């Protein structure tokens, strides 16, 4: 069985569309279908069911999907270790990053890393913290940098950067001229929030809970899936919000929003590097780790 067949099957499960898989992998749609059919013939059972344009994995399909990911992860690891044995300055590393580290922290670190390891290929995928945790546990990435820890004995989490959420309002907002504001005043105005699964959202909710409040106590007007979308919404007057200090400072300097301090709230957090135990024994992971931790 060819590795490419496993890759086709995995991508089909992830994307859920034969035509999109064909387009991304430069194949015809019948070719994709034929590969899936060959797998089902090999195992003598259905792996995928299709109903009303949506594909569903059978129980056998879920097993094969999980094991296929593990096979490809081990193959990538074997290639990496052998390439390091032959030439320590080549290889590939896959990194997952949530919005804030992906935009405001990781690029500078990657630039430093590439100066010394120009032949090492780096793949970066982005999403919210929960998406990145899933990518790590499924073996899609070697390590992740996100705004919350992962509670698992299988993985290690180390802080790589301190951050703090800042309360932001539009330049014409009622609170824009204030240097600081009390939580009771925030409840009077529309609040724009990040989506569930976001590390930013978790820090905000934890700070509210410490003072005996929940999101239900606020006038939530909109929910968005990225920090930049939040800043744009605040800039447009859709409400106020909490975003990373790194993003807020940049937006305020460009005149898009205003930062108002909230002394009552504990909005400090760390950005964490999370990786599977034992991965630091691999040279390429260890080298990149040193650039992040220094």
Tell me: pLDDT of 82 over 90: no
Q: Is 53 left (phi over 0), alpha (psi -120 to 50) or beta?
A: left
For the CA atoms of the chain, what is the radius of gyration? Answer: 23
CA 30 to chain centre: 33
Provide the mean pLDDT of the chain. 88
Within 10 Å of residue 120's Cβ, how many Cβ atoms?
A: 20
279 domain-assigned: no
- Where a domain ends, among 71, 91, 107? 71
In 3D, which of 214, 206, 225 has the Cα closest to residue 265?
A: 206
260 domain-assigned: yes
107 domain-assigned: no
| Residue-level length of the chain | 294
- Whole-number Å distance between alpha carbons of 21 and 12: 6
Task: Say what the pTM is.
Answer: 0.62
Range of the domain at 232: 163-269
Give the mean pLDDT of 123-129. 88
pLDDT by residue (tens digit) across 114-124? 888 888 888 99
First vs last C-alpha separation in the chain: 43
- Where a domain ends, among 48, 71, 94? 71
% of the chain at pLDDT higher than 90: 44
The phi, psi pair for 254, rounded to 5°, reads: -85, 5
CA 35 to chain centre: 30
Give the mean pLDDT of 148-172. 90
pLDDT for 121 equals 85
């Amino acid at each position: 069985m060819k590795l490419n067949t496993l890759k086709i099957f995995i991508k089909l499960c992830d994307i859920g569309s034969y035509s999109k898989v064909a387009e991304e992998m430069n194949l015809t749609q019948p070719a994709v279908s034929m590969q899936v059919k060959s797998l089902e013939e090999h195992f003598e059972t259905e792996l995928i069911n299709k109903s009303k344009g949506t594909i569903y994995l059978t129980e056998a399909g879920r097993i094969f999907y999980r094991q296929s990911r593990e096979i490809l992860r081990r193959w990538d690891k074997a290639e990496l270790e052998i390439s390091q044995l032959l030439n320590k300055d080549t290889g590939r590393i896959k990194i997952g990053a949530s919005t804030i580290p992906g935009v405001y922290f990781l690029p500078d670190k990657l630039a430093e890393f590439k100066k010394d390891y120009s032949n090492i290929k780096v793949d970066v995928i982005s999403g919210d913290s929960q998406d990145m945790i899933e990518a790590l546990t499924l073996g899609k990435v070697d390590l992740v940098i996100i705004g919350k820890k992962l509670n698992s004995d299988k993985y290690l989490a180390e802080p790589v950067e301190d951050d703090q959420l800042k309360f932001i309002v539009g330049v014409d907002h009622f609170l824009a001229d204030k240097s600081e504001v009390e939580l009771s005043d925030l409840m009077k105005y529309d609040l724009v929030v990040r989506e569930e699964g976001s590390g930013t959202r978790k820090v905000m909710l934890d700070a509210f809970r410490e003072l005996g409040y929940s999101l239900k106590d606020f006038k939530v007007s909109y929910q968005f899936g990225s920090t930049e979308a939040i800043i744009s919404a605040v800039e447009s007057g859709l409400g106020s919000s909490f975003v990373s200090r790194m993003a807020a400072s940049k937006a305020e300097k460009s005149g898009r929003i205003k930062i108002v301090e909230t002394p009552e709230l504990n909005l400090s957090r760390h950005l964490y590097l999370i990786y599977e135990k034992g991965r630091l024994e691999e040279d390429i992971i260890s080298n990149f780790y040193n650039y992040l931790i220094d």
